[in-house]
Amino acid sequence: MPRRLILSATERDTLLALPESQDDLIRYYTFNDSDLSLIRQRRGDANRLGFAVQLCLLRYPGYALGTDSELPEPVILWVAKQVQAEPASWAKYGERDVTRR
């Protein structure tokens, strides 16, 4: 029996779209002290930034980052600023096989 689609492709894309405006980034992707404590336990800028981004995506819109997923630059810049990591280190996240598992 074929699965019934509840949302159209456009509706699904809108629902899962990542925030890019400053107001939305602040609303959805601002860390509290507990979050920052957990993030700081990771070693290296790339792992701290990657972990923080994954945490953001799991909270809103509620999915984990795929291996080929692209992130809007404002998301990376906002998260990097909060965790005091270089935004350029995002390119290094996931290079190690252990991180990709």
Q: Which residues contact 14 (CB under 8 A, 6 or more apart)?
A: none
Q: Does 100 score more than 60 pLDDT?
A: no
**Is 5 among the domain residues?**
no
Q: What is the token pair recorded at 88? A: 């350029």
The answer to whether residue 11 is domain-embedded is: no
For the chain, the domain total comes to 1
CA separation for the pair 31, 74 (Å, rounded): 16
Domain-embedded: residue 25: yes
Q: Give domain status of residue 78, yes or no.
A: yes
Residue 13 lies inside a defined structural domain of this protein: no
Q: What pTM value is reported for the model?
A: 0.86
Whether residue 1 lies inside any domain: the answer is no
Spatial contact of 39 and 31, defined as CB atoms under 8 Å apart: yes
30's CB contacts (< 8 A; 6+ apart) are: 82
Report pLDDT digits (tens) over 54-81.
999 999 999 988 877 889 999 999 999 9
Chain segment 1-59, per-residue pLDDT in tens: 678 888 999 999 898 899 999 999 999 999 999 999 999 999 999 999 999 999 999 99
Phi-psi region of 94 (alpha: psi -120 to 50; beta: other; left: phi over 0): left
Range of the domain at 35: 19-100
